[in-house]
Structure 1
Amino acid sequence: MNGLHFRPMLESDVDAVLHVEYSAFSHPWTRGIFLDCIRSGYECWLMFLGNQQIGHGVLTAAAGESHLLNITVKPENQGNGLGGRLLAHLIERARQREAEVTFLEVRESNEAANHLYERFGFNEIGRRKNYYPAVGGREDALVMAYSLLD
């Protein structure tokens, strides 16, 4: 996709990140969570199409493992393969940090994300009961893993 590019997230980007986050999720991350991730040295990335920020992702990597903590594409830009492009970028960052595996949790009800992760090669390895807040209660998370070894 022409004009698609990535850059590291800065503290000054958090207002714009929150705008995308709040448009995409019923239970979005907070300003404090994003600031903590940036200040902790996590892999925090923005995805742009031209000069428009259309997504963001957060990944942590240490001791041969990585954990995808957040991947978000603006609702009006979803369904065009951009989530896969953002995911591929974050996986490449994990490889550069010498991770051998990437883990993630995803809402059981998030069918689009579940299909993306399965198409990419993630496998379900477990479930976390009542992991996510949900309208009217809590929701299970599927735990997925992807080997970064060739």
Structure 2
Amino acid sequence: MTPQQLAALHHAAFVLERPWSAQEFEDLLSNPHVMLFAKPGGFALIRSVAGEIELLTLAVGPAHRRAGVADQLMRDWMDATMGETAFLEVAADNTAARQLYTKHGFAETGRRKRYYKRPNGPAVDAVLMTKALTRR
């Protein structure tokens, strides 16, 4: 996927947060520690440094939701990367994503109060989630 395609899909997937621009995706993809996992209708972007793997973003377009795309993307990046710990953050009101991450073994380890600004409502906490990985 091109940075422009990633930005368009991110924009469609994240209507309550600021979507990332094509330039932001281009900058991230130029980093040797960042990896892209893509499926039709979705993608995951991760960064792996010093045994820690961070899920930077996972986006699935509205037409592809509830079809297993996010679940497969989670499996793909966790199977393909080596590390000791994986972590991510997710909006507290994003119930579907939180359920997905819990299903894949992530547990809440902290919060950033009122981190996600909402255009038509109060800010929402960011939930920090972590999972210990086993080395293969």
Tell me if both proteins adopt one fold, taking TM over 0.5 as the criterion.
yes
Distance 1:59 1:131 in 2: 21
Matched, 1:47 2:39: yes
Preserved CA contact (<8 Å) 2:53 2:85: yes
Of residues 76, 89, 92 in structure 2, which corresponds to 1:108? 92
Preserved CA contact (<8 Å) 2:3 2:23: no
Q: 1:122 offset after TM fit, Å?
A: 0.5
Amino acid in structure 2 at the alignment position of 1:106 = V
Of residues 81, 97, 112 in structure 1, which corresponds to 2:68? 81
Q: 1:64 offset after TM fit, Å?
A: 1.0
Q: 1:56 offset after TM fit, Å?
A: 1.2
Amino acid in structure 2 at the alignment position of 1:83 = A
Distance 2:117 2:51 in 1: 30
Of residues 9, 15, 27 in structure 1, which corresponds to 2:4? 15
Q: Secondary structure at the match of 1:68?
A: strand
Distance 2:92 2:81 in 1: 24
Distance 1:114 1:144 in 2: 9
Percent identity of equivalent pairs: 31
Q: 1:65 offset after TM fit, Å?
A: 0.7
Distance 2:98 2:58 in 1: 12
Matched, 1:130 2:79: no
Preserved CA contact (<8 Å) 1:56 1:73: yes
Amino acid in structure 2 at the alignment position of 1:39 = S
Q: Which aligned runs of 4 or more in structure 1 are off by greater than 3 angstroms?
A: none
Q: 1:90 offset after TM fit, Å?
A: 1.4
Partner of 2:13: 24
Of residues 35, 40, 52 in structure 2, which corresponds to 1:65? 52
TM-score normalized by the length of structure 1: 0.81
Unaligned 5+ residue runs, structure 1? 1-8, 49-53
Amino acid in structure 1 at the alignment position of 2:26 = L
Distance 2:35 2:117 in 1: 25
Deviation track 1:80-124 (CA, whole Å, cap 9, x = no partner) reads 2211100111112322xxx11100000000000000111111100
Q: Secondary structure at the match of 2:67?
A: coil
Unaligned 5+ residue runs, structure 2? none
Amino acid in structure 2 at the alignment position of 1:33 = E
Amino acid in structure 2 at the alignment position of 1:142 = V
- Name the Cα RMSD after superposition: 1.5
TM-score normalized by the length of structure 2: 0.88
